[in-house]
Structure 1
Amino acid sequence: MYGKATLSLVFALLIVLLLISYSILMGTVNFRSYFLPLLQSPATAHPLCATNPPLRVYMYDLPRRFNVGMLNLRNLEQTPVTDRNWPSWPKNSGLKRQHSAEYWMMGSLLYEGDGAEERDAVRVSDPEMADIFFVPFFSSLSFNTHGHVMTDPETEIDHQLQIDLVKFLLQSKYWQQSGGGDHVIPMTHPNAFRFLREQVNASIQIVVDFGRHPRTMSNISKDVVAPYVHIVDSFTDDDSTDPFESRTTLLFFRGRTSRKDEGIVRVKLAKILAAYDDVHYERSVATDENIKVEIRLHPVACLMPL
């Protein structure tokens, strides 16, 4: 069952990347225009899981304070979240956007428009019919919103959300039946769920790496690795009929070369790529100005400048 879950979750994460590629983070949300093109396939296309039935996902109905309520703290609306009132991702969210996989995964499950039945993962309203259970807690956004400084008094809000969620899950008979092994919780920020992570360690966690956690807590045998959501919109204004050939910069990187494990991988990359004229690889930090430089160069590809 976990193999099937992994395939379908990877599919959901691919939706995230495709959404970013089409620059849909701007403006109001239109579920039909965002999700329908991704759910429909040409008649000649072969689905990734054509021989398997869709993964049936039950999504817990959590209050807004656990998810979309953090997108706009001034909005005190308490009505249930649906595809009709789904809020857009904030335009000026900065680096928070790179951890927004949790937002797109929840949104894809809420979508009920044309083509939804053709997906590899579908939402079910009866938990007895579910293969896995999705926990729509925006743990990364909670850390970035309430506990980013880690010593700020607002950190207690993030802590309390984790306490309340763990209490909720432990009271769920479906969590009790599996010990949480068939529950999916997004935790893409390394400090997400940092207070009580051990208590939900049996779950399938959506992470970006395993660099800050012991192998007994987070590992490839049970968790899913998701790439950071790109924080720069795709450049679509190429004049040439062959945009790939018209771009003079093949690869762009302007960020830290020494991070985890003293940047072993990044230093090796720098040595390998330094000899190529069409590669811009520079030691720096992620700033708004550096992002603007990347946009001006509009390279064929770029690495996350963190």
Structure 2
Amino acid sequence: MVDQLVAFLLRQPEWIKSDGKDHIIVAHHPKSLLYVRKKLGLARFVLADFGRYGAKTANSDKDVIAPYQHVVNSISTNNSSPFEQRPPLAYFQGAIYRKDVRGAIRQELFYLLKDEKDVHFTFGSAQRSGVRQASRGMGTSRFCLNIAGDTPLSNCLFDAIVNHCVPVIISDNIELPYEDVLDYSEL
């Protein structure tokens, strides 16, 4: 179906007129239109990150990185413990074993940190009570680890921010949403 959609789009006079340069394609999920994006590369994309694309397909000169929607519940400032009173030093709950090569860092960090005092590093998912556990864990920890997995960035960054947990980004080649106007060091 995706191939048919792309073939249809590439035949349209509006596309042909500009070779797609004046089109905007929302492909926010990291796997959206993944294997056909090269064919659409001159269009402007709204993406979650640049992690899976070459510079000719996706780049900061023409595309927009929009933040992931955060998953865990936000805590209010009134319910947030002061930084110094948060007992866990670092928090990570998520998929430890990832398909992509970038995910290997999660495994290495798990083996290094799993037995450390004041570090919560465990497998977790959005299934069952995983979101509630992550909300509680992030909301009571000082630092939240945002570790590259299948892509350089994940929604854990935004989950940490809304829970007043200092995000620690462990990732290469990261392009943060709206970083040209937001000073992430101030968060």
Q: TM-score under structure 1 normalisation?
A: 0.36
Distance across 1 between alignment mates of 2:22 and 2:104: 35
Distance 1:225 1:277, change over 3 A: farther
Hey, what does 1:207 align to over in structure 2? 47
Instruction: Note if 1:261 corresponds to 2:101.
Output: yes
Shift of 1:299: 3.3
Structure 2: unaligned runs, 5 residues or longer: 147-154, 157-187
Question: Any idea what the Cα deviations from partners look like across 1:238-261, whole Å, max 9, x if unmatched?
Answer: 557x53334333443222222111
Matches within 5 A, 1:108-147: none
Q: Which residue of 1 aligns with 2:140?
A: 299
- Matched residues in 1 for 2:43 and 2:127: separation? 35
The answer to whether 1:247 aligns with 2:89 is no
**Aligned mate of 1:180, from 20, 33, 48:** 20
What letter corresponds to residue 299 of structure 1 in structure 2?
Answer: T
Higher strand fraction (1 or 2): 2
Distance (Å, rounded) in 1 between the aligned partners of 2:8 and 2:90: 42
Counterpart position of 1:277 = 117
Name the SS for the 1:252 alignment partner: strand
What's the CA shift for 1:263?
A: 1.6
Q: Aligned partners of 1:196 and 1:171: how far apart in 2? A: 20
Matched, 1:166 2:23: no
Could you say which structure has the higher helix fraction? Answer: 1
Counterpart Cα distance in 2 of 1:179 and 1:289? 47
Q: Distance in 1 between matches of 2:140 and 2:23?
A: 39
Q: Is the 8 A contact 2:10 2:16 kept in 1?
A: no
Q: How much identity, in percent, do the aligned residues show?
A: 30
* CA spacing shift, 1:269–1:180, aligned 2, 3 Å: farther
Other structure's SS at 2:129 match: helix
Note the 1:39-188 alignment, pairs <5 A.
156=1, 162-163=5-6, 166=9, 170-172=12-14, 178-188=18-28
Q: d(CA) in 1 for partners of 2:83 and 2:56? A: 44
Provide structure 1 residue ranges, at least 5 long, that are not aligned to the other structure: 1-155
Under a length normalisation based on structure 2, what TM-score does the superposition of the two structures give?
0.54
**Higher RCO (C-alpha 8 Å, min separation 6):** 2
| Cα offsets for 1:129-172 (capped at 9, x unmatched) | xxxxxxxxxxxxxxxxxxxxxxxxxxx4x666x3597269x433
SS of residue in 2 equivalent to 1:291: helix
1:262 Cα deviation after fit: 6.0
Q: Deviations over 1:42-93 (max 9, x none)?
A: xxxxxxxxxxxxxxxxxxxxxxxxxxxxxxxxxxxxxxxxxxxxxxxxxxxx
For residue 72 of structure 2, what is the aligned residue in structure 1? 232
SS in 1 for 2:122: strand
SS at 2:121's partner residue? strand
Which protein is bigger by CA-based radius of gyration?
1
- Is the Cα–Cα contact under 8 Å of residues 73 and 132 in structure 2 kept in the other structure? no
